[in-house]
Amino acid sequence: MKIGIFDSGIGGLTVVREIRRLMPGQPLVYFGDTARTPYGTKSRATITRYALEDTRFLLEQGAGIIVIACHSASSIASAAVANEFSVPVFEVVSPSVEQAARVTRNRRIGIIGTRATIESRVYDHKIPELLPGAVVLGMPCPLLVPLVEEGWLKRRETRMIVRKYIRPLKERQVDTLVMGCTHYPLIKDIIEAKAGKRIVTVDPSLQTALAVKRFLEASGDSAEPDSPGDERYFVSDLAPATEEIARRFLGGKIKLEKA
């Protein structure tokens, strides 16, 4: 079965990277909405409309299962996507909620993400459903997406900004931190260093890929490990730097096609 994965841009390639690692040879089609990125600063209505359009495009490309790799779209539009289309829909929030609920010891969980993700309060609702009494503390981190896209992955400025965002969560004694944005796995080492040893981080890209793998295995649809990969990567706008940035997210060569 072909996996269709979409994101507001190229950040969702962090999810593709894990899917490829765990399910080599599985056919996939990716759509990055680079013409309309970012989603994290947009309204609920707009994000929902874009998510429905992105899904429709992937289904037209033959996807049989959808993965919403974007946290902003997952937080706001996953129910709309699941209601509108009859294919299985995965998103990045639920697997990270489950993992956070599993690993926390003191039931105090911090979430970092875009404004859209944090303001959706999806984690505030979902985590206590699984873990009664859990305290969820969200912190919007709007500066991190542009810093990662600029490739400022080791810079002092990035470390300072991460520290500023995480400090209030540490002060309120979270022991678990969900990296609730496609871009954060690229600065995971900085986030972990600033969070400190006592805080466990949750990487939704890995948790989502694991959930998709379990589903495909259970439905008998996983590809033979060595079958040649049928992979296509579409974007809605192809600027000169896009492929270079995309390579960083995927961790290897990539050929982008304009949708």
Of the candidates 97, 247, 113, the one whose C-alpha atom is nearest the C-alpha of residue 176 is: 97
Nearer to ligand DGL, 75 or 176 (CB): 75
Q: How far is the CB of 133 from ligand DGL (least distance, A)?
A: 28
Residue from 17, 20, 71, 107 touching ligand DGL (CB under 6 A): that is 71
- Asked if 133 contacts 107 with a C-beta cutoff of 8 angstroms, the reply is yes
Nearer to ligand DGL, 37 or 176 (CB): 37
Nearer to ligand DGL, 3 or 223 (CB): 3
Residue from 3, 4, 11, 208 touching ligand DGL (CB under 6 A): that is 11
Task: Return the CA Rg of the chain.
Answer: 17
Beta bridge partners of 183: none
Stretch 113-132: interaction string toward ligand DGL, x if CB under 6 A: -x--x---------------
Based on the residue annotation, tell me whether 181 is a catalytic residue of this protein.
yes
Cα dihedral 81/84/86/92 (nearest 10) = 10
From the candidates 66, 111, 139, 181, give the one annotated as an active-site residue: 181
Nearer to ligand DGL, 27 or 180 (CB): 180
Q: Which of residues 38-57 bind ligand DGL (CB under 6 A)?
A: 38-40
Measured between alpha carbons, how far is 74 from 99 in angstroms, rounded to an integer? 16
What is Dmax (Cα atoms) for the chain? 49
Residue 96, CA atoms < 13 Å, CB-side half-sphere: 31
The runs of H, that is alpha helices, within the chain are 13-22, 44-60, 71-84, 93-103, 115-120, 122-130, 144-149, 156-171, 188-195, 204-218, 242-250
Residue from 2, 5, 7, 162 touching ligand DGL (CB under 6 A): that is 7
Stretch that binds ligand DGL, among 6-14, 56-64, 152-160, 249-257 (CB under 6 A): 6-14
Kindly list the residues in this chain that would bind ligand DGL in the complex (CB under 6 A): 7-9, 11, 37-40, 70-72, 114, 117, 145, 181-183
Q: Give the residue numbers marked as catalytic.
A: 70, 181
